[in-house]
A and B are shown apart, each in its own frame.
Chain A
């Protein structure tokens, strides 16, 4: 490390710095983005058509095996992607460590709960 390092003495003592998780976060965020590039347009168009048929239309749409798999892929990839995105938002704006940790945990819980609810719903309708 050169003499002109911009790291503060306190930062050096505490051993703060990269947690070595940045690259993984970056890559998974992009990979899920590429998946969503295809899944989201299908989901939007397909969902609008399904909603038109009222409750029976919705039920028939979710019950179709291919739709069921694609719905879970779309919702799963979206929740995965948004968990990563919200993590960055929280890390950027919340400086207080306890609040930050709390919100990061809440973020994870929300995404997991939404995925389990979606998975339960799709499997209940489609896996009969």
Chain B
């Protein structure tokens, strides 16, 4: 601490922090927020293509229907479901609830698990995974 004269408190640098669940959930909340920012481009493009006609709609659905398109859409689903679940947790914390360290870690972990379960359940139940359609959503016999 040779020439350091600034008396203001200094935040410990990320690299010397021990990773813990609440920290991971906070970082992931921001990461998925940015992910959703990118994902809504697809949603708006889809709405626009619907209005613009089949000449726009069909090429777009060819891209989103490809394996890479489907992977991106599943990632988007995962990103939205995590941000939604953890966002609900944030709202409770904004109301002053759930700050007990152990409970906060528990809800952080619960949010992670719930997000994956929700995203996987949506894809499986909606029949978006080829060959899996328990509720017969695609209308195939």
Which residue numbers of A lie inside 8 Å of B, CB to CB? 6, 8, 30, 33-34, 36-37, 40-41, 44-45, 47-49, 51-52, 54-55, 58-59, 62, 71, 75, 78-79, 82, 85-86, 89, 114, 117-118, 120-122, 124-125
Contact = CB atoms under 8 A, between A and B. Distances in A.
Nearest to B127: A52
Given A37-B91, A86-B37, 10 more contacts: A52-B137, A52-B138, A55-B57, A58-B57, A62-B47, A82-B37, A86-B33, A89-B34, A117-B48, A121-B50
B40 interface: yes
A65 B52 CA distance: 19
A34 to B, nearest CB: 7
Nearest to A125: B51
Contacts, number: 90
Interface in B101-132: 122, 126, 128
B91 to A, nearest CB: 6
A30 B91 CA distance: 7
Given A6-B9, A33-B91, A75 B44 contact: yes
A114 B40 contact: yes
B94 A124 contact: no
24 contacts: A6-B7, A33-B90, A33-B91, A37-B84, A40-B80, A40-B84, A44-B80, A45-B126, A48-B128, A59-B50, A62-B47, A75-B43, A75-B44, A78-B36, A79-B40, A82-B33, A82-B37, A86-B33, A89-B34, A117-B44, A118-B47, A120-B48, A121-B52, A125-B50
